[in-house]
Amino acid sequence: AAVAADPSVRSPLPVLGRDVAVPLVTGGEVTYAALDYAASAPALQRVWDDVAAYAPYYGSVHRGAGYLSQLSTDLFENARRTVAEFLDCRVEDQLVFTRSTTDSLNLLAAALPDGCEVFVFETEHHAALLPWQRAGRVTFLDAPDSPAQAVATLERALAARDPHGPALVCVTGASNVTGELWPVRELAAAAHAHGARIVLDAAQLVPHRAVSVRELDVDWVAFSGHKLYAPFGSGVLAGRADWLRDAEPYLAGGGASRTVARRADGGVDVRWHETAARHEAGSPNVIGAYAIASACKALTEAGFDALAAREEALVRAVREGLADVPEVRFLSLFGEDAPRVGVLSFVVDGWNSSHFAAALSAEYGIGVRDGLFCAHPLVRRLLGGDTGGAGECGAPDAGALNAIRVSFGAGTPEEHVARFVRAVRELVR
């Protein structure tokens, strides 16, 4: 249902869903306050408009001779260039359009050279924690309590490995639980000093900060469109071409194959592409790629310095607004004042987190998330106890020891954050 737009709804980049009215348990309705950007951000109005303008004209990409096929092929390949520029990739890098961050990291896991060792902190999102188990030897690093300790922990682990074999480090840029920024550049330097490569899980970083593959000196970067103000179903893996080029295609099929011919013995010979197409078999998600590129342009035009400054002000508004409420305890690894993106998790003494999140929704029309946020080892550590397997990813157990996460970004009006602070204060009282 749509209600009249709230004049206090202001955000630097308008998003969809600003006028959605939701019912309150106390009667009446209120415009929905989407404060779960870390899970999925609303699409930018600009992204939606760009997609709507293109949608009537789309055609099959790569092999079509018709005008619309050529148009779509150009838009798809231009989107690849736009996103590579947005990430400040090296000229020799490859950018593969995938379905999501999870898909990107699984693709890289499938492309690891033989005998590759993987090093990953236990604090990662499951998408960055789990794909490597298939690949072979994985070392899970203990959660650090400062950025410097993260670097020292990685240095120590890498120093103990056989320096001749291939190795990969996987790190997050910003935690999906605490929002804290990780020392990516320093971790990349440590990895390279020990002959290892590094992939950056930038799912929570790209929507909030400029990411330069060159400046951070990471080998790959992975992210999802739906957290970057574009729709679901498209993601990116960008970086070094060699491991990707040497790997078996992620999916076998048309688009990945250059030539296929029957052999005299009855089998088939296949020559695969050596470009990104090698891992993009099947008809690609052109609209998804176009939407990501549109979001990249909009964010670049708005300017990450301005976006980050505004978001930091919103984080401060939450922290200061709740500073005199001792029942609210924020979760952090690196300290409560550590630099972070617009993602904060907390528990409320005397409250079950699921009930608290439900009350925010029912009584104030505020959408947050509760649970273990697909980062069970991290949240368990931060909560200081074992949750007994409850709080499944995406299906929080109402009785579990969970946390609550509030997250926002470029489309968040100040009023949503103010309403959240007021709601927390009222519920606690």
Residues designated as active site: 374
Number of residues assigned to the chain: 429
Residue of 116, 135, 203, 333 that binds ligand PMP (CB under 6 A): 203
Q: Between 102 and 402, whose beta carbon lies closer to ligand PMP?
A: 102
Q: Between 102 and 332, whose beta carbon lies closer to ligand PMP?
A: 102
Q: How far is CA 11 from CA 113, 285, 416, in A?
A: 45, 29, 11
Beta partners for residue 21, in sequence order: 31
Q: Between 138 and 322, whose beta carbon lies closer to ligand PMP?
A: 138
199 scored as a contact of ligand PMP (CB under 6 A): no
276 scored as a contact of ligand PMP (CB under 6 A): no
Residue of 180, 201, 280, 370 that binds ligand PMP (CB under 6 A): 201
Subset of 255-274 contacting ligand PMP (CB under 6 A)? none
82 scored as a contact of ligand PMP (CB under 6 A): no
Subset of 86-105 contacting ligand PMP (CB under 6 A)? 100-102
Q: Which residue bears the tokens 């869903």?
A: 17
Which span (1-9, 10-18, 121-129, 394-402) binds ligand PMP, by CB under 6 A?
A: 121-129
Q: Between 202 and 383, whose beta carbon lies closer to ligand PMP?
A: 202
Question: Do 204 and 226 meet the contact criterion of CB atoms below 8 Å apart?
Answer: no
345 scored as a contact of ligand PMP (CB under 6 A): no
Q: How far is CA 110 from CA 89, 92, 143, in A?
A: 22, 21, 26
What's the CA gap between 152 and 35, in Å, rounded?
Answer: 35
128 scored as a contact of ligand PMP (CB under 6 A): yes
Contact mark string toward ligand PMP, 139..178, x via CB under 6 A: ---------------------------------x---x--
Q: Between 224 and 412, whose beta carbon lies closer to ligand PMP?
A: 224
What SS3 class is residue 60?
A: coil
Question: Do 377 and 123 meet the contact criterion of CB atoms below 8 Å apart?
Answer: yes
What's the CA gap between 161 and 387, in Å, rounded?
Answer: 33
> How many residues of this chain interact with ligand PMP, rule: CB under 6 A?
13
Longest dimension (CA), the chain: 80
106 scored as a contact of ligand PMP (CB under 6 A): no
Helix (H) or strand (E) holding 418: helix 414-428
- Give least dist CB 358 to ligand PMP, A: 21
- The 8-class DSSP code of residue 248 comes to P
204 scored as a contact of ligand PMP (CB under 6 A): yes
Positive or negative CA dihedral for 222, 115, 194, 145?
positive
List the 343-348 sheet strands across, edge first: 328-330, 343-348, 403-407, 369-371
Contact set with ligand PMP (CB under 6 A): 100-102, 125, 127-128, 172, 176, 201, 203-204, 224, 374
